[in-house]
Amino acid sequence: MSETPQTLTPRLELLGITKAYPGVVANNNVSLKVMPGEIHALLGENGAGKSTLVKFIYGVQKADSGSMLWEGEEVRLANPNAARKLGVGMVFQHFSLFDAMTVEENISLGISPELTKGNLSVRIREISAQYGLPLDPDRYVHTLSVGERQRIEVVRCLLQDPTLLIMDEPTSVLTPQEVEELFKTLRRLSEEGVSILYISHRLEEIKTLCHTATIMRMGEVVAECTPENETARSMAEMMMGENLVSPERTDRQTDGSVRLEVKDLDAASTHQHGTDLRSVNLQVRAGEVLGVAGIAGNGQRELMEVLTGEVLVDRAESITIDGTPVGQLGPVQRRGIGVGVGLVPEERLGHGAVPDMSLWENGFLSAATRMELINNGFIQVGASSAFAEEVVEQFRVKTPGVTHPANSLSGGNLQKFIVGRELVQKPGVIVVLQPTWGVDAGSTASIRQALIDMATEGAAVLAISQDLEELFEISNRIAVICEGRMSDAQPAENVTVEEIGLLMAGVGPDGEKAHAD
């Protein structure tokens, strides 16, 4: 790691920032400094106040009190455009994109008018290639996976040549090889004097990359540290204010009966520029977690859609649950079969939850049948609310109450609710896509432990994730999906992160491109 560049004047300094919302103080007297060329981590659990703070820095919202200094001079940012002119660029965790527009159109909306002149398409291709984040400027956003959408935000930000770059969970959709390439770029920017405020729940990344860290808890700064002198556990415990309990599994071996099976499955993508599934085979046994790794856009969304029943397949027997062909059953029918099927999609807002509906209503949407929340066509409001409250309590979801809308929660807390909503129903088969994306260390550990416990109790768990640390921690076996094809699953203890990363990139054990047609 390069030495932190030192100077007398911070590039950014916050003094006593306070911001309150009804029922919660998001930031309470927060102060921090970011020096030129410094890669500065901002750490905290979901709901700790990180997002509120960086939205203030980016001009999205105003603080109730406190001040912001830019290179020693007090500034007041009226809006994000003012922040960009100052030199602040931000990659949000939740994307600000229009589905009906192309990549180029979305990028042009988020940058200054002078940057849109000339051949923007060529510059997008150049920047995306330079940073290892391939993008087609002509593609429509609605055809892109979550990972591909995140690339738009990163490229849009880098086009602005910022002097302070705020990055919120930027590596959640990258392979280990791509993460290392991104880190090379960030270190080069740091050496050139660019300041980087880096938010991530991947604490090993923080140790590797960041010069300093500010740690928040319950809206306040509780600690500062030098990450290379800490462990991931020690930083997690500073964030939580308590000891971190790591997920544990007693046995990685399982010989239970096959509960979920996919056999010779071919399925054309229903999305323009999507990835067709080709000859997919997999089995998940009772008591097992099967992990599926892959780079965003390689068929994960299509696999999830055929497993949920959102997209039906030609042959019912292509997908079986406890021996019952379900390939031509829709989502409600699959949830209603005897064993119950739990589903956690990739996109939290809009797919996993209806943004403007309350938590109890969102709980009802997936649990109505299995938890008997409907009687003679009437919604049982009391039982639905009690179910949602049970999810909130078991998964430590931070919310003022279950009557509050889904979009009032932080991303990580909403993810905990969506995962918990499924697990509390105790399905026999559960399929999860990116189960802990954007979730803090403590909540990540509890979600992973809950998935392991589900398997221990006899469920079949299929976990599709780009987080290899996660897959190695929870999986009995790991397979890789690449260009719509599935590799053979291998025992997790028999493969390395590097080997899985190469398979994710389409490179076989012999170094040749896999699945060449």
- The pLDDT score that the predictor gives to residue 41 is 96
Inter-residue contact 299 to 312 (CB < 8 Å)? no
Please give the structure tokens belonging to residue 263: 């056999």
What per-residue confidence (pLDDT) applies to 83?
A: 92
How far apart CA 7 and CA 10 sit, in angstroms, is 7
Q: Longest C-alpha distance within the chain, in Å?
A: 71
- For residue 93, the model assigns a pLDDT of 66
245-340+428-517 matches 12-240 in CATH topology:
yes
CA angle 482, 427, 483 (to 5 degrees): 5
Give the C-alpha separation, 277 to 345, whole Å: 18
Q: Which fold would CATH assign to domain 245-340+428-517?
A: Rossmann fold (3.40.50)
User: What is the CATH number that goes with domain 12-240?
Assistant: 3.40.50.300
Q: Given this model, what pLDDT does residue 348 score?
A: 80
- pLDDT score at 86: 93
Contact criterion met (CB below 8 Å) for 509 and 495 = no
* Residue ranges in 201-309 assigned as alpha helix (H): 203-209, 232-240, 300-308
Tokens of 167: 């990055």
pLDDT tens for the chain, 517 residues: list them. Answer: 444 445 479 999 999 999 998 778 899 999 999 999 999 999 988 778 898 899 999 999 899 999 999 999 999 999 988 998 899 998 876 677 888 999 999 999 878 788 888 889 999 999 888 877 788 999 999 888 666 777 888 888 888 889 999 988 777 666 676 677 778 888 988 998 999 999 988 888 899 999 999 999 889 999 999 999 999 889 988 988 877 666 776 565 567 899 999 999 999 998 877 889 999 999 999 999 999 998 877 899 899 999 989 899 999 999 999 999 999 998 888 887 766 678 888 778 788 899 999 999 999 998 998 899 999 999 999 999 999 999 999 988 888 899 999 988 877 788 889 999 999 999 999 999 888 877 777 788 888 999 999 999 999 999 998 888 889 999 999 999 998 999 999 999 999 888 888 888 777 655 555 554 4
The DSSP symbol for 190 reads H
- The answer to whether the beta carbons of residues 176 and 496 sit under 8 Å apart is no
**Element at 156 (helix H, strand E):** helix 146-158
How far is residue 298 from each of residues 2, 273, 339, 464, 484, measured CA to CA in Å? 35, 11, 29, 12, 6
Q: Which of 181, 239, 244, 172 is nearest to 438 (CA)?
A: 172
The tokens describing 411, both together, are 């991303």
State residue 171's pLDDT score: 76
State in Å, rounded, how far the first CA of the chain is from the last one: 42
Q: What is the CA radius of gyration of the chain?
A: 23
- Provide the 3-class DSSP secondary structure of residue 452: helix
Note the pLDDT of residue 516: 44
Element (H, E) at 431: strand 429-433
Domain ranges in the chain are 12-240, 245-340+428-517, 349-426
